[in-house]
Amino acid sequence: MEQIVSRKKTPGNFYKHNTEKMPTIAISDLDPIEIPHHFNLTHCPPAEFELPPRKTEKVSLPPHLNSILANYDMATGGSTRSEVLIRSRINVIILTTLAKMMREFAPKPHASVASASSTAPSVSLKSIHLQFERKIRFNWKSENRLVKLFGIVDYSLSYGMPNKHATNVAMVEVERPHLLKSGMLHCLAYMAMIHEKRKQSKIRDRSVYGIATDGYEWVFIRIRSNGEWIEKTYSWVQNAQDIVSMLVKIFARAAGFDPRSYDRKNSTSLT
C-alpha cells in the first residue's frame, strides 16, 4: 500500500528531452483534469468506513498539538501564507502524530499482524521511513506514446527500505486554498505511478493512499487495487480529530498493522 502527500509546483516547460530523446514531462505540468484519464483511473464514492475513521479508530490529538498550532497562528497571523509557513504547520501535525503512535501502540502478546506485502509474522512502527522531497520518475505509456514522468513528492512514507514498491503514503503540500483541487489531482498522479509499479511487481495489495493539504484543508485519497479512486476532504477547524485519526489509520497501514489489534500504552488515546 502506498501513501502520498504532494505540493503544487510552478509549471515549467511541458516537454524536455533526455539523451535517449524520450519526452520528459513534469507531473506539475500535466493538466490536472486529465490526470485520471491519463492513468486509467475511475472516480468512485468511498465506502462507509473506507476513508472516514470508524468510532473504534478515532484517537485524541497528540499532546500539546493544539497549543503549538495556536502559537503558530499567533506568531504568523500577520504574515503572508508561504510555502515555508505551510510546511512548518504540516510538519508539526505529521511528526507529532507519528510520535504519538510510537509512544502509545504496543503489540499484544503473541499478536500476529501480517504485512500487506510481506510474509513476516509481525511488524513494527519502527519499520516506517518518512522521506521529504523525494524525487520520483516513471516511464509511462499514454495514448501509444512512451514518456518519462518525474516530480517531487513532498512527503512519502514507506515500510522497510524506501523504494517504489514499499512506499505507502504520498503527501502533497498546496500553497493556496484555491489550488487544493489541482494539488489533489497532481498527488493522484504520483499515487498512480506507485500503484502501477506495485502492479508490475505483482504485489497483492496495490492500494495507495495520498494526502493533499495546505495545513488547514486536508484531502485524503485512496487508489484501490483495481484502479478506482476515492477522496474525502476535512477541515482542521471542524474535523481535527478525524484528520489525526485518518493519519494514524493510514500510517498504521503503511507499517502493515491494524492499530485496533494493538494495546495502547495510554488508555486515554481513544475517544
The pLDDT value given to residue 186: 93
| Other Cβ atoms closer than 10 A to 159 | 27
Going from N- to C-terminal start, the domains of the chain cover 83-102+126-260
Query: Mind listing the pLDDT tens digit for each residue in 110-132?
Result: 443 333 333 333 446 666 778 88
DSSP 4: E
Q: Are 156 and 169 in contact (CB under 8 A)?
A: yes
**Rounded to 5 degrees, what are φ and ψ at 80?**
-70, 135
Query: Mind listing the pLDDT tens digit for each residue in 174-228?
Result: 877 778 899 999 999 999 988 888 887 777 778 889 999 999 999 999 999 899 9
The pLDDT value given to residue 31: 92
Mean pLDDT of 231-247: 95
Mean pLDDT of 48-52: 85
- Rounded Cα distance, 208 and 28, in Å: 20
Rama region for 144: left / alpha / beta (φ>0; ψ in -120 to 50; rest): left
Mean pLDDT of 40-47: 92
Q: Does pLDDT of 172 surpass 50?
A: yes
Which range has the worst mean pLDDT, 4-8, 152-156, 177-181?
4-8
CATH topology of domain 83-102+126-260: tt1808, chain A (3.90.1570)
In the chain, where does DSSP find H-type helix?
35-38, 65-76, 83-104, 180-200, 236-255
The pLDDT value given to residue 123: 47
Residue with cell 503527501: 171
Categorize the per-residue pLDDT at 162 as very low, low, confident or very high, splitting at 50, 70 and 90. low
Mean pLDDT of 47-70: 89
Higher pLDDT, 240 or 255: 240
Question: 237: number of CA atoms within 13 Å, CB side?
Answer: 4
Q: Does pLDDT of 236 surpass 50?
A: yes
In this prediction the pTM is 0.78
End-to-end CA distance of the chain: 27
Choose the most confident range, by mean pLDDT, from 157-171, 189-203, 232-246: 232-246
Higher pLDDT, 8 or 135: 135
The pLDDT value given to residue 116: 37
Strand locations in the chain (E):
2-6, 16-17, 23-26, 42-43, 105-106, 128-142, 145-159, 167-173, 208-213, 217-223, 228-235, 263-264
The pLDDT value given to residue 4: 53
Beta pairing class for 228-235 and 42-43 = parallel
The pLDDT value given to residue 220: 95
| Other Cβ atoms closer than 10 A to 114 | 14
Q: What nine digits make up the cell of 197? A: 509499479
Q: Does pLDDT of 156 surpass 50?
A: yes
Q: Are 69 and 92 in contact (CB under 8 A)?
A: yes
